[in-house]
Structure 1
Amino acid sequence: MKINMPFSNDKYRYSSGYLLFFFAAWSLWWSFYAMWLKNKLGLSGTEVGMLYSVNQFFSMIFMIAYGFLQDKLGTRKPLIWLIGVVITLSGPFLIYVYEPLLISSFKLGMMLGAVFFGLGYLAGYGLVDSFVEKISRRFNFEFGTARFWGCLGYAVGTFVGGIFFSINPHINFWCVSVMGVLFLIVNLLFKTEGNDEKVASSQVSTLTKQDFITIFKDSQFWFFVIFVVGTWSFYNIYDQQMFPVFYAGLFENPEMAPRVYGYLNSVQVILEAIGMALIPFLINRIGPKSALLLGGLIMTCRILGSAIFTDIYIISFIKMLHALEVPLFVISVFKFSVANFDKRLSSTMYLVGFNIASSIGIIVLSLPIGQLFDKIGYQSIFFLMAGIVILTIFFGYFTLSKKKHEPSVLEYVNS
């Protein structure tokens, strides 16, 4: 089916706005979360590991609910309104609730933060991605071309956030709330009602409990889950929990680290944005399975590089590999899902099959890795992670389906 030029499609423009403001908001605090916890609040590696584990555990609960509910809702927006409200309240929550509690009552702060972040960000990003992916198939544009704007928002947020963070992290947190207001404005203006929406909603509403159960009886689903746990979850622990602190430790002047990391992250995410726009066409050619395996190989190179080298310039260059790996994985997951499972259940597959599978690995491994960091440092952990990712790539090569998705004319009505 012919794909229209993106900017001629108002649904593409609004979808891009969702992604732009959501990921800008997330990057303003999430990019510096580990640095903030360890260097500003003085938490130990074990405490940071506990926070990541509990955050991921609660996010899993919301992912399950979001996946099932959004597949029932189609492109209707109640859950998107909820995400916008959480983003808008993030500044006051981080400054006046979360930070004081982590210092004075760590466990209470940990629990409240896990609910808030799980509801708005750690499950919310999957919800926003899957919501836009449904819109892209219904209204005839490539998801990756809209996801480009999410990456661009993340890059700008990290660039600005690195400067603000070195002055006062609270500036970052107030900027998050501003992004939340802009997100709510986009949601207010975006309309999907009309004949196409009525037809699509009636089709989606026919989903039954058995439709969801069928996914979990499919061996391909479980092969996919194992592959995700062995690759994406290990990589996320490395990239989110360990790399920022590891990178900051390479600097003689600790105050320079957040600013340089912000600049570096911005360049990386700009490259990632370009990848989001271009890589869908590569995946369409080689197939989602090959793209997933390629993404795993790139992960391995980055983790091994951090284990072998300690030169700031080499490590900075290695970080740029993230710009290739993320588009390959995120877009391939959606394309693998619609090629192998019921297209109406794309939110469930993305949030449960991909994000929850990854979260399980993070929950199980974050605390032990944090404890190992306190005792022995990074190098041995990086080698172990890279070895597990390599084994998982071999597993995926022999088990994952080679099916490719061929869109039909009716798909854009019945997504």
Structure 2
Amino acid sequence: MNNVKQLKFWNFGGMYYFYFMIWALIFAFLPFWLNKTAQLDTSVSGLVFSAMAITALVLEPIYGVIQDKLGLKKYLFGFVVLCLLFIGPFVQFAFIPLLQINAIFGAIVGGAYLSLCLNGGVGVVEAYIERSTRENNYEYGHVRLFGSLAGGTAAFIGGIMFVKNPYSIFWACTISAIILGVLLWTLRVKKEDKTTDQASETTEEEETPVTKENIINVFKNRSFWGFCIMMIGIATMFDVFDQQFPNYFASFFNDSSRGELVFSRIASVQVFLEAGFMILAPWFINKIGAKNGLILAGIVLFIRVIGSAFFTEIWMLATWRLLAAIEMPLMLVSIMKYITSVFDVRLSATVYMLGFNFAKQIGISIFSVVMGYLYNLVGFQQGYVVLSFIILAFVIIGAMIMRSEKHTTDNTKNLTAA
């Protein structure tokens, strides 16, 4: 790897690192903040996450089409970074006053704003960096591991920060956004040298504009709908389960602050293990296939959720939490490989944002509220039993509808380009 290419690799990695530092800080500690600082019950907390999901539903189709038309241009990514810059001031000076005026109104506004940066914005970040790394012949999973490293760092330092000052989490997000903005501004994406066939294929792809017909034909591909169902079963339920699991875990401690700190340590170990699996995931998924990788991720999630319902010793819950270190790399790498092998790569951002993020947010907007009420009604343990079987149903149905990429002919693969 020459010096220029090596520098670019670290630039991509740095962008992943600081974006997912923000992501991990908020999603790991927002449940604690909503419960302890904002003093919201689980149903209103669920409304915050639902508002984030519903806002993303509006944003994702727009973001996807815009990013596919922009290609390697950075304008939309820059807008997401601009929103990230104001997380600290928003939470410190606006969120609590809005909740005090009206809890439901405040939850909706707060969730909608955070979605600009996270639930909606993550699709822009992932799609842009995946396209850029593919253009420069990097393995997506190897660059994406920086996001896992960020998650480990955030979990380790976040627990200390949150106990000392709950608002410091969000100001750390603002500082990370400043660094992310600098990395994005300095990034120069250049096409690497390719073989004659690769260069010809790339030129043809770039010179063929994305049309409305291309986008409409995505919806005619049965694999797209199977993929959406699979994403609800895996990605949606992953987030729904994790939204309030920190509060469930902390409830086993006499001192909730102690529980929060221990959870942050466990989460830190989990995401560092995740980074290690991320290195191996591309090789493993290439061996078993992207569709099988998604099915396996769904099985691991099912085991993790149902195990958390029955294994209620602290050390057992901690061990079960670490299964996420296997699940996340399987899911993330399989998603990107499935999209680029089954669908027209010109539409990778659209398929990613609609098939992954849009479907995921539909699920979150529904199941965050449903599970929030269910936790109140029957408790976490019974709620987790129900959730585990919902996961299993979605994974089975999605797998039955999706085509395996190895059985996808060139004509099927390019249905979206018809």
Q: What is the TM-score with the length of structure 1 in the denominator? A: 0.91
The 8 Å contact of residues 136 and 192 in structure 2, kept in 1 or not, is answered as no
Work out the CA distance in 1 between the residues paired with 2:334 and 2:294. 6
Q: 1:25 to 1:210 in 2, by over 3 A?
A: same
**Aligned partner (choices 232, 237, 249) of residue 234 of structure 1:** 237
Aligned to 2:196: none
Match in the other structure for 1:270:
272
Q: Please say if 1:148 is aligned against 2:145.
A: yes
Task: Note the 1:295-374 alignment, pairs <5 A.
Answer: 295-374=297-376
Shift in alpha-carbon separation, 1:40–1:137, aligned structure 2, 3 A: same
Whole-Å separation in 1 of the counterparts to 2:4 and 2:226: 38
Query: What letter matches 1:72 in structure 2?
Result: K
Distance 2:46 2:208 in 1: 40
Alignment match, 2:394: 392
Structure 1 SS opposite 2:403? coil
Q: Aligned to 2:209, what secondary structure does the other structure show?
A: coil
Q: Distance in 2 between matches of 1:354 and 1:248?
A: 31
Which of 162, 165, 170 is the matching residue for 2:162?
165
In structure 2, how many angstroms separate the alpha carbons of the residues matched to 1:405 and 1:29?
A: 40
Q: Does 1:212 align with 2:212?
A: no
Identity %: 31
Query: Structure 1 residue 281: deviation in Å?
Result: 0.8
Moved over 6 A (4+): 194-197, 199-202
Cα contact 2:142–2:278 (8 A) shared by 1: yes
Q: Equivalent residue for 1:248?
A: 250
Aligned equivalents of 2:292, 2:80: Cα separation in 1: 33
What CA deviation, in whole Å up to 9, does each residue of 1:351-404 have, x standing for no partner? 110111111111112112211212220122111111122233333443322214
Distance 1:6 1:116 in 2: 39
> Which of 60, 63, 70 is the aligned partner of 1:73?
70
Deviates more, 1:162-171 or 1:203-212: 203-212
**Cα distance change, pair 372–92 in 1 and its aligned pair in 2 (3 A):** same
Letter matched to residue 272 of structure 2: I
Q: Deviations over 1:113-132 (max 9, x none)?
A: 23321111111122111111
SS of aligned partner of 2:188? coil
Q: Any idea what the Cα deviations from partners look like across 1:119-169, whole Å, max 9, x if unmatched?
A: 111111221111111012100010111111111112111211110101111
How far apart, CA to CA, are the structure 1 residues paired with 2:299 and 2:57? 27
- The count of aligned residue pairs is 401
Contact map agreement 2:119 2:361 (CA 8 A) in 1: no
Shift of 1:41: 1.5
Q: Distance in 2 between matches of 1:50 and 1:238?
A: 15
Does structure 1 conserve the Cα–Cα contact (< 8 Å) formed by 2:309 and 2:382?
Answer: yes
Partner in structure 2 of residue 22 of structure 1: 19
Once the two structures are superposed, what CA deviation does each residue of 1:212-260 show, in whole Å capped at 9, x if it has no partner? 1110111111111122223332232111x22111111111111112211
The one-letter amino acid paired with 1:285 is: K
Contact 1:41 1:103 in 2 (8 A): no
State the AA in 2 paired with 1:173.
F
- Pairwise CA distance, 1:5: 8.5
1:338–1:405 CA contact under 8 A, matched in 2: no
1:276 CA drift (Å): 1.6
User: In structure 1, what is the Cα distance between the partners aligned to 2:231 and 2:22?
Assistant: 26
Letter in 2 for 1:29: I
The equivalent residue for 1:409 is none
TM-score using structure 2 length: 0.91
Q: Is residue 336–residue 404 contact of structure 1 (8 Å, CA) maintained in 2?
A: no
* Partner amino acid, structure 2, of 1:348: T
Give the one of 280, 302, 308 matched to 2:282. Answer: 280
Which residue is 1:412 aligned to? none
- What is the aligned partner in structure 1 of residue 130 from structure 2? 133
The CA RMSD over aligned residues, in Å, is 2.2
CA contact (8 A) 1:293 1:393 kept: yes
The answer to whether the Cα contact below 8 Å between 1:238 and 1:303 also exists between their aligned partners in 2 is: yes
- For residues 395 and 365 of structure 1, the distance between their equivalents in structure 2, rounded to whole angstroms, comes to 18
Counterpart of 2:332, as a letter, is V
CA-to-partner distance for each residue in 1:293-348, whole Å, 9 max, x for gaps? 11011001100111111100000000000011011111111111111110111111
Output the CA distance in 2 between the equivalents of 1:372 and 1:388: 13
CA distance in structure 2 between the aligned counterparts of 1:205 and 1:48, rounded to whole angstroms: 46
Give 1:78 deviation, angstroms. Answer: 0.2
* Distance apart, 1:285 and its partner CA: 0.9
Query: Are residues 55 and 6 of structure 1, via their aligned partners in 2, closer, same or farther at CA, if it must alter by over 3 Å?
Result: farther
Using the alignment, how far apart are the partners of 1:174 and 1:208 within structure 2?
Answer: 42
The 2-side partners of 1:204 and 1:126 are apart by 24
The one-letter code matched in structure 2 to 1:271 is L
| Shift in Å, 1:92 | 0.5
Contact 1:283 1:328 in 2 (8 A): yes
Contact residue 274 and residue 324 of structure 2 kept, 8 A: yes
Which secondary structure state, in structure 1, belongs to the residue aligned with residue 254 of structure 2? coil
Q: Unaligned stretches of 5+ in structure 2?
A: 194-198, 409-418
